[in-house]
Amino acid sequence: MSILNSDDLKPFADLARSFAARELAGKVAEHDRYPFGRFYEEVLAKLHDVGFLNAVLPIELGGTDFGIEALCAILENISEVDASPAGIIYTQALSQKILMAAGAGKLAASLSKAGTAMKTILIAFPVYIDPASTDTLPTAQITGGGYTLAGRIELLVPGNLTPHAVIPARTGRGPDYSFFLVDLDGKGVEISDPVFSLGLHACPAVDVTFGGAGAQLVGEENAGAAYFAQVLPQMSAVATAIISGILRGTYCEALAYAQKREQGGRPIVQWSEVTMMLANLSIKADVAAMCVCQSCRELRQKQNGYESRISAATLHIAELACEATTDGIQILGGYGYMKDYGQEKRYRDARMVQALLGSVPMKKLARIRCIPEVGTNTA
């Protein structure tokens, strides 16, 4: 249980925890077989029914308006069991946040309207990139009364499940880019099979090639970086919450196994080496939960340099998770590598979540460029 579960957030955390226990626990390995197995459409529909897919949309736009802190509590508890559905919720929230930042809230509402087919509710987005740091964005040209896109976008999540996608593209030779709404079922769009990535298999991604595909400009031309920067701190905090859930799940499963597994005439939890590894896992899980809580506080207070501190927390906790999931496997021994247990999946998922909003090296390079401006990033 996270320290984020305050009195105000406890109902959301409890809802997410009960949802995960009812719909995800015991089925994680089955869901993780995708794309070679069946996709869990019924779980996705239930995520929508409880309001998780419209958590950041205001009520007047047809959303549930849970808010970012509640979304953190929800995804932290879901990710403790399985981070894949958290990835889908995350992508939906990011897409909606981008649209609202661009002044297209009504468009977001129309795309996510309750009561429409499940396929049309989702909005795809390339969540594993920072568009400003990507040299190979599609290009957009004015054609007639609108725009057409040409080029390729990789790892569009979940591009095989919805016709709607928010795509970053450049309209000129410079670094500036714009966001466009694209109909993936339209002409000039070629979608690959789901990419068999390292982790988050049940949060599918596809590569999409555009050849003169029609596109609708979202917001102002060349203002994409401003919109992305506006939502980046919030979505970084949410990514930290997903990582925190993975860490908590790693610790809980390792502890439960160590208490039951006997070696040398006693449970392995009583062996000093295992006890020390569990203690380290517990420390990392608690630090992650604290960083989620502090990131949410930073979002509320918005003191000088808060964006940099939230980004630093996400980077640090993601690295801790990659270390911790390795230890989580080791505590289970050979069983840690088996899909019957959750540790090997958490190991893979942690590395995928670490890449949300751009690769780690690019994020660190961006921080290096800002050091002369923000110094030690203290208020």
CATH value at residue 158: 2.40.110.10
Residue 379 belongs to a domain: no
Least confident window among 9-18, 82-91, 321-330, 368-377: 368-377
What confidence category does residue 379 fall into, taking pLDDT thresholds of 50, 70 and 90? very low
Same domain for 65 and 135?
no
pLDDT of res. 71: 98
* Interatomic CA distance for residues 203 and 75, integer angstroms: 14
Grade residue 117 by pLDDT with cuts at 50, 70 and 90: low
Q: Tell me, yes or no, whether 208 and 230 share the same domain.
A: no
Q: Same domain, yes or no, for 81 and 147?
A: no
Q: What is the pLDDT of residues 101-115, one digit of tens each?
A: 999 999 999 987 755
* Span between the terminal Cα atoms of the chain, in Å: 30
Q: What is the pLDDT of residue 373?
A: 55
Q: Do the domain assignments include residue 138?
A: yes
d(CA 242, CA 75): 6
Indicate which CATH number applies to the domain containing 263.
Answer: 1.20.140.10
Contact (CB, 8 A) for 188 and 147: no
Judge whether 322 lies within some domain. Answer: yes
Q: How far apart are CA 182 and CA 180, in angstroms?
A: 6
> What is the percentage of the chain residues whose pLDDT exceeds 70?
95
Whether this prediction's pTM lies above 0.85 is answered by yes
Say which range, 51-65, 68-82, 107-121, has the weakest mean pLDDT. Answer: 107-121
Residue 5 lies in a domain: no
- Is the residue at 3 inside a domain? no
186 and 320 share one domain: no
Peptide bond connecting 175 to the previous residue in cis, omega within 30 degrees of 0: no
Claim to verify: residue 266 and residue 286 sit in the same structural domain: yes
Q: Of 167, 188, 222, which closes a domain?
A: 222
Q: How far apart are CA 134 and CA 190, in angstroms?
A: 21
Please state the rounded mean pLDDT for residues 249-256: 98
C-alpha distances in Å from residue 289, one per residue of 44, 84, 262, 313, 358: 26, 19, 31, 11, 22
- Residue 106, Cα to own-chain centre: how many angstroms? 24
Closest CA to 248 of 238, 236, 256, 259: 256
Domain shared by 336 and 234, yes or no: yes
Q: What is the DSSP letter of 20?
A: I
Lookup: tokens for 72: 């953190």
Best CA proximity match to 52, nearest among 37, 41, 39, 63? 63
* 229 lies in the same domain as 367: yes
Name the nearest CA neighbour of 165 among 194, 199, 207, 202: 207
Task: Flag whether pLDDT at 1 surpasses 50.
Answer: no
CA distances from 164 to 58, 111, 112, 192, 360 (A): 20, 8, 10, 16, 28
Q: How confident is the model at residue 145 (pLDDT cuts 50, 70, 90)?
A: confident
Under a CB-based contact definition with an 8 Å cutoff, are residues 184 and 163 in contact?
A: yes
Identity of the amino acid at 302: K
Nearest to 352 by CA among 99, 77, 128, 36: 128
**Structural contact between residues 288 and 247, judged by C-beta atoms closer than 8 angstroms:** yes
| Percent composition of the chain: helix, strand, coil (DSSP 3-state, to 5) | 55, 15, 30
235 and 292 within one domain = yes
pLDDT tens for residues 126-141? 999 999 999 999 999 9
Looking at residue 173, its pLDDT comes to: 81
pLDDT for residue 376 is more than 70: no
According to the model, what pLDDT value does residue 116 have?
57
Q: What percentage of the chain exceeds 90 in pLDDT?
A: 86
Res 311: pLDDT: 95
Q: Are residues 232 and 328 in the same domain?
A: yes
Positive or negative: CA dihedral 210, 214, 215, 221: positive
* Same domain assignment for residues 254 and 348: yes
Least Cα distance to 166 among 201, 90, 218 occurs for: 218
* pLDDT higher than threshold 60 for residue 119: yes
Give the Cα separation of 305 and 337 in Å (integer): 41
Mark which of 181, 197, 222 sits at the end of a domain: 222
Residues 150 and 270 in one domain: no
pLDDT average, residue stretch 206-232: 97
- Boundaries of domain holding 58: 10-121
Last residue of a domain, one of 222, 249, 279: 222
Residue 1 domain flag: no
Asked if the structure places residue 102 within a domain, the reply is: yes
Mean pLDDT throughout 199-219? Answer: 97
> Do 186 and 116 touch, CB atoms closer than 8 A?
no
**CB of 133 closer than 8 Å to CB of 174:** no
Q: Tell which wins on pLDDT, 96 or 373.
A: 96
- Bridge partners (DSSP) of residue 178 are 169
> Is residue 378 pLDDT above 70, yes or no?
no
Structural domains counted in the chain:
3
Q: Which CATH number does the domain housing residue 53 bear?
A: 1.10.540.10
* In-domain check, residue 337: yes
The answer to whether residues 211 and 74 belong to one domain is no
Per-residue pLDDT of 39-61, as tens digits, reads 999 999 999 999 999 999 999 99
